[in-house]
Amino acid sequence: MPLKVGIAFYIQEGNSRAGPPHWALVAHPFSYSAPDVMVFQIRQAAASPSSAGWSLAHTVCSLSNTPALLGVLHVADISMTSAALNQFVAQFPATKNGDDPSGMPFWSCENWVIRVLHHLSRTTVSNIPVLRLPMQTNLIHGHASRRARTLRTAPKNAPNRFAVLPLDGY
């Protein structure tokens, strides 16, 4: 069954709504508003600013009940089951490990999400890419960051709802 894959943006703890958002990869077969959205992310230990202080923090939850959520950028629908995506994401540690196709000079939750998307775009099933990114990997951060600023001001659809915008929109 195909999955919707997106990037969720959250207000970071201790930051104002204007600070840089936390990034997480989110997926669900039908809707990001479902009660069982898969959330793949890394978190940094407060006492450790080095990349060694990052840890995996994957969960399944409702995004609708997350007050810090700014919204979601929909990346694409992919031809992969939930179990296959879980297995795929499990191969990526929270640390850089010399694998950072984002083109950014530092390691963060943003780089980790971009790395997973990059490798999904390089994965094929029967010679068909699982994911077709709408832009080159090294352009995702800048474009997604601009779209995240739009999410900050986008109206929520209803109580406990959030905006979903396409990654490649303007």
**Residue 161's pLDDT band (boundaries 50, 70, 90)?**
confident
pLDDT for 92 beyond 90: yes
**Residue 158's pLDDT band (boundaries 50, 70, 90)?**
low
Of all residues in the chain, what percent carry a pLDDT higher than 70? 89
pLDDT at 156: 65
Mean pLDDT within 68-91: 95
**50: Cβ contacts below 8 Å, ≥ 6 apart:** none
Residue 10 burial by CB count (10 A; 0-12/13-18/19+): exposed, middle or buried?
buried
- HSE (side-chain half, CA atoms, 13 Å) at 60: 7
Q: What Rg, from alpha-carbon coordinates, does the chain have? A: 15
Alpha-carbon distance of 27 to 59, in angstroms, equals: 11
**54: Cβ contacts below 8 Å, ≥ 6 apart:** 42, 43, 44, 45, 94, 95, 107, 112
Sheet containing strand 59-61, edge to edge, reads 59-61, 37-40, 22-28, 3-10, 69-78, 164-166
Domains of the chain, residue spans: 3-164
Torsion of CA 103, 170, 113, 86, to 10 degrees: -140
Mean pLDDT within 21-49: 90
Of all residues in the chain, what percent carry a pLDDT higher than 90? 62
**Residue 36's pLDDT band (boundaries 50, 70, 90)?**
very high
pLDDT for 11 beyond 80: yes
How close are the terminal C-alpha atoms of the chain, in Å? 29
pLDDT at 14: 66
- Inter-CA distances, 164 with 85, 100, 161, Å: 21, 27, 10
Q: What predicted TM-score, i.e. pTM, was given to this entire model?
A: 0.91
**The tokens of 159 are what?**
């109580």
